[in-house]
Structures are given as structure tokens and as C-alpha cells.
């Protein structure tokens, strides 16, 4: 089982993928499905996308791509920048095909030939192979172009002849412009090299006229940037107008900005959005189940020349800001010696406080970051029942458990927690419900998540979280522990869900978490909360509840 960053991104944001399959969207499999893009977009705001039509490719039949008239031809174009071609195709797959950005970014690390296969199937040609620098650029540009999409679209629309021209722009042309704008405005790449390379991509991938349009728009951008006269929104007017301007400047959905300004105030909301737009930092957890300590990990990172620092909060964790590709290529993850896990998730495990010999149930376990950490702390003594409704993600957990040598204490159960609770009366010492949530605490790592969430999701999730909490409580022994956690920063998914649960279940009371985590993570009510602005970690929440002994 390969410990890839795609899986590990899931680990650090476990709860951001919903338990209920109606909230999940599968990555696009371009090998078997071909996308005919039919899209009308309301620029400068939320996208309005018509349903995508998929055509299953038949053996021997000419494939249809983003341009129905383009037939697949195997040819190499050495003049087109390979990282820009890959970026354009990835952005198309994410926005129109429903692929996950973090999964695609990890596939790009060390799999350039596979990426070039997608380029050929989509654009009809290949470029030279991607080198390590190209792969790093792909990761940076794809993530950045997604995060800054609203801001980039505002600039692009401002430089088009008309709003109608922008709204009717074909998807591939728009992605090429987003790449060029991001490279010039946010990466400060040599502007005329960016213009030349993106013009060439547009001409080859589309037609000469598209290249001419890209040339004209990008040259306008270069001139405005050099004169420091970019058409930026002005934060003025009533609350709605200010929120719209800030949403464009910081590239977030308007509903999120309005909600955060109301909950946190404008200053903190801006700091939160700045964090969400920053390059994500990662933590590595040494796998003590393999007798691999943090000191061993530090020794290897030093040998590999990967900059790192020790976590001040958790004994087995090390922080890194660069060098993930080196770690992957050195097979540290593949060997199960360590895994990528945010400290905020590790602190939730500290609150569960798993002890050797205990029985534990992880109620929404897959793909298993917290499960694996808890299992390592059992020291081969005890049992963790890992339940999840998603069979594919549960399979990842099982494979990871073998890789990490903790499969002897993990028992996987494929079931809906609510139904499983109705049909089983077994009790456990400790119960962890890492609930499906909006994922608003992990937006720095999940670049595309902000555009896939709607305000209505919060209400739907609140109902699901209540149902799952009720079900999870049925597994707790008298005197046992129930830990409810999310990777959200929204009070309606956190404190309010716990308070509502306690009103329904007087047999439970709050056990303050100050014995398990540093004091600056403890709220007035005794809950755990990691704040991205305060702690520079993913946002997360946990409450430790104890069942009254009868």
C-alpha cells in the first residue's frame, strides 16, 4: 500500500468528506470516460454549471474530447510548455469533471508519464516529459489557480471587451488565461515568457485566434501590473457590498465571507482567508508501531536535507514546509515508517487517550488517519472497530493498517453507523465520532473545497451530525468516553451540536480536555479547538463526553 499524499490529505481532513454518499463526488476517470464540456458560468460569483454529459469510450472508436471535432492523434509538440499543458488539463478535470485537486496533485509527483497521457487524450498531443521542476510548478499553479479563481476571474473579466465575452469563453481558453494570470500576478514569473508560452499553448491546443486573444489579454495585464494599476475591488458601501469586495480580493465564496465577518469580525475573517490562501504546511507522524521514533524520523530527514522542526504539541510529530516530494521518493511513506497527519488531528487522538487493552470504536473511520494513530498507541493490546459507509475508503484503511503493522488490533466494519447502532448492542470503552462536516477548517489544504461548499450544506450536515451522535452514544459503556470531533471552525457544527446532544442525553456530561491537550487549545466550556489564525494549524474541534455510571 503506497502512503501517497492524496490519501494523507484525506487523513489530515478526514471529516471533510461526508459519510453520506450523496455528498461525495468521484474523481474523473479519463481512461474510460470522455467529457463533453457543456458549461455556462456566472463569472465573478458562484459557478452555474449545467450537468456534464459523459460518453463511454468504445474500443476502436474515435474518442470525443473537449472539442468534438478533434480526433485523437499521437504526436509530440516540443514547443509547448509541459507544465502548462498539464495544468490546463488538470484544471479542466477539477472544474468540469469533478476530480479532487489534492488527488491529482499527488498523482503528478513522480508520475509525469501518466499526466502526459491525460494531456494527449484531452488535447491531442504530448509535450516533452515533465521533470521535477515541472512537477513542482504543476502542484503550485493548479493549487494556486483554484484558490485564487474568483480573484483571477475578476481580473480576466475586467480585461475582456465585455462581460458577455467573458461569460461565453470556452473552458479550456479560460483555464489557460487563469494559468497566465496566476503566474504573472501571484508567482511573479517573467511576464513576457509567460505570455509567449501561454499563447503558444492556446494556438496549439485550440486555434491561432485563441492564441491571439490570450496574447492581447495577457499583455494588458502585464502593463497594468507594471504600472501598479490592477483593477482591484474597493471595500466600501454596505455590509453586502463590502463582503462581495472582500470575497473577490481574497477569493472566497461570498456566503463564507459574510458568515465569518458576522462570527469573527472583519479583521479576523481577513486573517483567516489569508491563511486559507497560504501554501499549506504539513506534519509527519513517526509510526511507533514499527518502533520508528521521532528521533529516527529526524535523523532521516536530516540525511535527506529536508528542513523540519519538532512539533511543540505532540511527541511523535515533525513539521515540514518543503520537501514532501523527497520524502515520497525516499519511500518513507511507502514503508509505513511515517504518515502525513496534521497536528490538529493528532490532538484529537490525544483527547481520546487510547490505552493498551481498551476497546474502541471509530465511527466514521476511513480512510483511517486517526484510527492508525490510535492503534499505534494501543501497543498491540486492545481492539479498534473501524466502521465506515464507504467501502473503497475502508479498503484504504485496511491496506494502511497492514502497512503500518497495526492490523492485529483493527477490525473494519462496512456499514451505516445509524443502522449498525440499531442492530448491535456491543459497548466500548471509548467511542470516537469524527463526524462528516463542511471542512471549513482545512481550506488551506483542500484548494477546491471552498468552491464545492454551499450554505445549505451546513444545515444538512447539522441534521446528519445529530443522527450520528445519537447513534455513536449507543456504543458507550457506563463510565465510558464519547469524543465528538470535526475539521470545521463553524460553531453550528461544533459547540452547538454538543449542546443539543446534551439536551437530548442527560446521561452524558462534559469532561474538560485540559488534561489531554495544551491549555491554549481549551475553550471556556472545556472543549478542544484549534484555530488556524491563532495556532497555525488546521481548524478542528473536539468534545470529550463521559457516560454517567449507573
Secondary structure in 3-state letters for 478-516:
EEEEEEEEECCCCCCCCHHHHHHHHHHCCCEEECCHHHC
Q: If we measure between CA atoms, which residue out of 219, 147, 212 comes closest to residue 180?
A: 219
107 in a known ligand binding site: no
190 in a known ligand binding site: no
168 in a known ligand binding site: no
Look-up of cell digits 459574510: 258
**DSSP class of residue 207?**
-
366 in a known ligand binding site: yes
370 in a known ligand binding site: yes
Secondary structure in 3-state letters for 365-417:
CCCCHHHHHHHHHCCCCCEEEEEECCHHHHHHHHHHHHHCCCCCCEEEEECCH
Q: How far apart are CA 455 and CA 418, in angstroms?
A: 25
**DSSP class of residue 452?**
G
Q: How far apart are CA 378 and CA 363, in angstroms?
A: 18
355, burial (CB in 10 Å: exposed 0-12, middle 13-18, buried 19+): middle
368 in a known ligand binding site: yes
429 in a known ligand binding site: no
Cα Rg of the chain, angstroms: 24
Cis amide bond preceding 367, omega within 30: yes
210 in a known ligand binding site: no
367 in a known ligand binding site: yes
Q: If we measure between CA atoms, which residue out of 210, 265, 213 comes closest to residue 243?
A: 265
**368 vs 251, 405, 466, CA distance in Å?**
31, 14, 22
Residue 342: all three cell numbers together = 496534521
Q: If we measure between CA atoms, which residue out of 509, 449, 411, 399 comes closest to residue 24?
A: 449
437 catalytic residue (yes or no): no
> 87, 363, 437, 487: which one is catalytic?
487
Q: Which ranges constitute the DSSP H helices of 250-303?
A: 254-264, 266-276, 294-303
388 in a known ligand binding site: yes
Residue 488: all three cell numbers together = 470545521
Q: How far apart are CA 177 and CA 171, in angstroms?
A: 10
Compute, in degrees rounded to 10, the torsion defined by CA atoms 538, 322, 376, 337: 160
DSSP 98-109: ---HHHHHHHHT
Contact 211, 199 (CB under 8 A): yes
Q: If we measure between CA atoms, which residue out of 385, 386, 382 comes closest to residue 365?
A: 386
Q: How far apart are CA 522 and CA 157, in angstroms?
A: 45
Extract the annotated binding site for S-adenosyl-L-methionine. Answer: 364-370, 388, 416, 434
Active site residues: 487
Extract the annotated binding site. Answer: 364-370, 388, 416, 434
Amino acid at each position: 500500500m503506497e502512503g501517497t499524499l492524496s490519501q494523507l490529505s484525506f487523513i489530515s481532513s478526514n471529516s471533510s468528506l461526508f459519510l453520506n454518499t450523496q455528498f461525495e463526488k468521484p474523481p474523473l476517470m479519463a481512461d474510460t470516460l470522455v467529457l463533453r464540456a457543456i458549461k455556462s458560468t456566472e463569472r465573478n460569483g458562484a459557478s452555474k454549471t449545467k450537468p456534464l454529459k459523459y460518453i463511454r469510450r468504445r474500443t476502436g472508436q474515435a474518442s470525443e474530447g473537449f472539442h468534438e471535432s478533434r480526433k485523437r492523434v499521437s504526436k509530440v509538440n516540443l514547443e509547448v510548455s509541459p507544465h502548462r499543458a498539464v495544468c490546463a488539463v488538470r484544471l479542466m478535470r477539477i472544474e468540469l469533471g469533478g476530480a479532487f485537486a489534492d488527488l491529482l496533485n499527488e498523482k503528478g509527483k513522480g508520475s509525469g508519464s501518466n499526466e502526459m497521457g491525460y494531456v494527449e487524450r484531452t488535447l491531442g498531443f504530448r509535450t516533452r516529459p515533465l521533470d521535477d521542476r515541472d512537477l513542482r510548478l504543476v502542484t503550485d499553479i493548479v493549487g494556486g489557480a483554484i484558490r485564487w479563481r474568483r480573484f483571477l476571474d475578476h481580473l480576466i473579466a475586467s480585461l475582456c471587451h465585455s462581460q458577455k465575452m467573458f461569460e461565453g469563453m470556452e473552458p479550456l481558453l479560460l483555464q489557460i488565461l487563469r494559468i497566465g494570470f496566476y503566474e504573472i500576478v501571484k508567482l511573479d514569473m517573467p511576464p513576457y515568457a509567460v505570455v509567449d508560452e501561454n499563447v503558444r499553448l492556446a494556438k496549439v491546443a485550440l486555434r491561432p485566434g485563441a492564441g491571439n486573444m490570450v496574447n492581447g489579454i495577457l499583455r494588458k495585464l502585464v502593463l497594468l501590473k507594471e504600472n501598479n494599476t490592477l483593477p482591484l475591488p474597493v471595500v466600501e458601501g454596505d455590509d453586502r457590498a463590502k463582503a462581495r469586495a472582500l470575497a473577490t480580493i481574497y477569493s472566497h465564496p461570498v456566503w463564507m465571507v459574510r458568515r465569518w465577518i458576522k462570527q469573527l469580525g472583519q479583521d479576523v475573517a481577513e486573517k483567516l482567508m489569508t491563511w486559507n490562501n497560504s501554501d499549506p504546511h504539513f506534519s509527519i507522524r513517526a509510526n511507533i508501531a514499527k518502533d520508528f521514533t521521532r528521533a529516527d524520523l529526524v535523523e532521516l530527514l536530516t540525511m535527506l536535507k529536508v528542513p523540519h522542526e519538532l512539533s511543540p504539541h505532540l511527541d511523535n510529530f515533525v513539521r515540514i514546509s518543503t520537501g514532501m516530494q523527497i520524502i515520497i521518493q525516499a519511500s518513507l511513506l511507502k514503508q509505513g515508517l511515517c504518515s502525513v497527519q496534521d497536528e490538529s488531528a493528532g490532538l484529537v487522538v490525544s483527547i481520546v487517550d487510547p490505552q493498551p487493552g481498551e476497546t474502541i470504536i471509530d465511527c466514521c473511520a476511513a480512510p483511517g488517519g486517526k484510527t492508525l494513530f490510535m492503534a499505534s498507541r494501543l501497543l498491540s493490546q486492545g481492539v479498534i472497530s473501524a466502521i465506515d459507509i464507504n467501502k473503497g475508503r475502508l479498503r484504504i484503511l485496511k491496506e494502511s493498517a497492514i502497512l503500518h503493522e497495526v492490523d492485529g488490533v483493527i477490525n473494519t466494519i462496512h456499514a451505516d453507523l445509524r443502522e449498525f447502532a440499531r442492530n448491535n448492542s456491543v459497548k466500548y470503552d471509548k467511542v470516537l465520532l469524527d463526524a462528516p462536516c463542511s471542512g471549513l477548517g482545512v481550506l488551506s489544504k483542500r484548494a477546491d473545497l471552498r468552491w464545492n461548499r454551499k450554505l445549505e450544506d451546513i444545515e444538512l450536515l447539522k441534521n446528519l451530525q445529530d443522527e450520528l451522535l445519537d447513534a455513536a452514544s449507543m456504543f458507550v459503556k457506563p463510565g465510558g468516553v464519547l469524543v465528538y470531533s470535526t475539521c470545521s471552525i463553524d460553531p453550528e457544527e461544533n459547540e452547538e451540536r454538543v449542546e443539543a446532544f446534551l439536551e437530548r442525553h442527560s446521561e452524558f456530561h462534559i469532561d474538560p480536555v485540559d488534561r489531554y491537550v495544551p491549555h491554549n487549545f481549551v475553550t471556556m466550556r472545556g472543549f478542544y479547538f484549534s484555530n488556524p489564525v491563532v495556532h497555525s494549524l488546521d481548524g478542528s474541534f473536539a468534545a470529550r463526553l463521559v457516560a454517567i455510571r449507573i
